[in-house]
Amino acid sequence: MRIHSSDHSWLLLAILVIILSFSVALSSSDKAKEKEKKTTSVDKKKEVTYDGTSLIINGNRELLYSGSIHYPRSTPEMWPNIIKRAKQGGLNTIQTYVFWNVHEPEQGKFNFSGRSDLVKFIRLIEKNGMYVTLRLGPFIQAEWTHGGLPYWLREVPGIFFRTDNEPFKEHTERYVKVILDMMKKEKLFASQGGPIILGQIENEYSAVQRAYKEDGLKYIKWASKLVHSMDLGIPWVVCKQNDAPDPMINACNGRHCGDTFPGPNKDNKPSLWTENWTTQFRVFGDPPTQRSGGTNFGRTSAHYVTTRYYDDAPLDEYGLEKEPKYGHLKHLHNALNLCKKALLWGQPRVERPSNETEIRYYEQPGTKVCAAFLANNNTESAENIKFKGKEYVIPPRSISILPDCKTVVYNTAEIVSHHTARNYMKSKKANKNFDFKVFTETVPSKIKGDSYVPVELYGLTKDETDYGWYTTSFKIDDSDLSKNKGGKPTLRIASLGHALHVWLNGEYLGNGHGSHEEKSFVFQKPVSLKEGENHLSMLGVLTGFPDSGSYMEHRYTGPRSVSILGLSSGPLDLTEQNKWGNKVGMEGERLGIHAEEGLEKVKWQKLSGKEPGLTWYQTYFDAPESQSAAAIRMNGMGKGLIWVNGEGVGRYWMSFLPPLGQPTQIEYHIPRSFLKPKKNLLVIFEEEANVKPELIDFVIVNRDTVCSFIGENYTPSVRHWTRKNDQVQAITDDVQLTAKLKCSGTKKISAVEFASFGNPNGTCGNFTLGTCNAPVSKQVVEKYCLGKAQCAIPVNKSTFQQDKKDSCPKVAKKLAVQVKCGRDKKN
């Protein structure tokens, strides 16, 4: 189906409903004091306050267009381009979580270097003239391992997370003061002339507050008082917290805040929307998706969450613009800017012409300042709306924006921005002469230990590895075997998650795993036992720590019940009747063989093609050609971890197939900063046997397939309009609908791969002709576009029906175009 952005645009428009449905009227004296400023540039020493309408920065009301960029999910080398593109997309604010377990992985030892350099990240935002919202935590969720809480907190005596618990509050206060004192020392708060205009303490706390009863209310009041008492000169929010203690602002998270958010809990607070998801994150076992918005490098993702994070974001994990979503949002931001004065100073009014339609408009009495939003809630057909003496046709489930209450400049369902398809081009340079060498881990048969139950896996690994060994031995009498007429005995292992590999007497029996929705699973298999002592070995496997819910410090995983069924003497419970030995991690991890300095610590063998599970693979490769983004495709592999030059690329899981049979994620981003021009070390730890590393390849990532798909009756792009002297005016005398195509960087349109003016079908990268088509379509597009970095094609009958004949006059025409971008050979 065609990629369509009407859903998220609809929801973004609902921000206006939230902001202004609960606004309070301003007196004329207030207005005189707070004249609107035309620029949103970051000035020195800004006072940030608020009232029931908006945030007020240096006495000027602001509409904030904010996007999330999580600094650890990209590299410092990528930050400038991502921030720049965010600003070009119409944003004036960047919000980010602060990741406690990134900054304090060991108690008392802080890290603010590399991808953890929070100050550098905020400085770059400031350099781009943008504001910052700092979402401090301590808990962030964010599909990040342990919700951002460091593992060592679990081992603090008497601790309970996120409640009125003295140990948790003590460590939280210390962490919060470290971060905020750093921001203050660097003069990053708006009150000091910096870009931070808003802070957030805690995250979606109402989701767990009831579990803690009165202690939950005490905790959120304590957390709010903590940050407010530091007197940093900025307002603070708590999201999804309808009973936010004063002066905290309760904000909304989610896709449907326009329908579900009851509004601020005090009239003097503005309505704010901290998260409006443009899509849903992916977990292993989900159907594959093409695009994402960040990378969970190394072992940083929450349980079962893919390495590629937050699919379908406007900027993908490579920092490339995902069109048409990016452009459609950019146009929305432009349209809202044309409405800014009416939104911030007008009086809100609502009309409901029918059950399916709604008009929300904002007028400043005695002036021409007016902006309207005409909504059609009918999901199947267009609706006519009459407003101020004029009739408007509104497409199904969409909103039209009229920044002067007369002129439609944007409709959420009519996408006039161009589309792109992401391409993975096999690298010619990087895929030469792989010479894989291998090292296989030894499966322990008997580890010394005195535990009478299998140790809980989170506590065993302490977030230092994904792997924990369990071994036990048990005796079988000949009578248990000879009298068993019903066939082989059965080994049954009940696990709380996440995955498990099993060996009996040195023979590999198989593996099992849970899922994001159901972590627990049962491994059960008939086994051949021998008389006398038998040895059972299990490898518990994590896919990250949990990131949500109450009492996270008491969340457990790993094997919990082990028994042998089908013996003549009855079931044999190994869980509590045997001693268990444990070992943390792989030997290769302990020796550091994922990096160059550790390679010589083990003896590597030549690749045979029939390697068992738990095998390390290493080879060298040259960096892919060009400076485009790079990735590795893990075809032929099963499940494990990837490193390049010692840097953790992330977890892969090719063998966990959703119903359609394709892995959730195939390509894994390798940032260019991880790479050298030549001789890059690739190390893979593979859990499964008989994989085919020779099928792995390196790819270059681009968006050189550019498309447009526009109906002849669509509203022309909002870029044709500006506001001057309180009036919306056309920038040019001839405002017409055009299909605009643009290549990235220095590339130019090298080929027109598809063009049809009629009723074409499909999506970018997969268009097909319909029953109606203007024969000269491709010729016309080539005339306008070939050899150019960008082009604009008029979308009308006169452009494509040069003989003035229309073979299908009753068909509403659409123009579908697909072009290829490339560099001239001399470039």
Catalytic (active-site) positions: 204, 275
3-state secondary structure of 783: helix
Residue tagged 């069924």 (tokens): 565
The span from the first CA to the last CA of the chain, in angstroms, equals: 36
CA distances for 583 relative to 58, 444, 454, 457, 469, angstroms: 59, 9, 11, 11, 5
Residue tagged 């002709």 (tokens): 769
Q: Which two tokens stand for residue 594?
A: 């994922």
Q: Which pairs count as long-range contacts for 265-270, CB under 8 Å and 24+ apart, including other chains?
A: 267/22, 267/24, 267/52, 268/24, 268/50, 268/51, 268/52, 269/50, 269/52, 270/19, 270/23, 270/50, 270/51, 270/52, 270/53, 270/54, 270/55
Shortest CA distance to 239 belongs to which of 227, 225, 226, 257? 257
**Residue 340 backbone class (left: φ over 0; alpha: ψ -120 to 50; beta: rest):** alpha
CA distances for 446 relative to 97, 535, 580, 637, angstroms: 44, 7, 9, 29
Which phi and psi angles does 31 have, rounded to 5°? -65, -35
Q: Which two tokens stand for residue 286?
A: 């989900």
Q: Return d(Cα 216, Cα 208) in angstroms, integer.
A: 8
Rg, the chain, Cα only:
30
Handedness of CA 635, 636, 637, 642 (dihedral sign): negative
715 has which bridge partners?
none
Indicate the burial class of 788 (C-beta count within 10 angstroms; 0-12, 13-18, 19 or more).
Answer: middle
702 has which bridge partners?
423
Q: What is the largest CA-CA distance in the chain?
A: 100
Shortest CA distance to 697 belongs to which of 662, 728, 657, 670? 670
CA distances for 469 relative to 362, 462, 731, angstroms: 65, 13, 69
Shortest CA distance to 109 belongs to which of 117, 101, 121, 119? 101
Is residue 516 within 8 Å of 304, Cβ to Cβ? Answer: yes
Q: Return d(Cα 568, Cα 559) in angstroms, integer.
A: 25
Angle at 636 between CA 630 and CA 640, to 5 degrees: 75
650 has which bridge partners?
642
DSSP H or E run through 344: helix 340-345
Q: Return d(Cα 563, Cα 568) in angstroms, integer.
A: 14
**Count of all residues that appear for the chain in the document:** 827
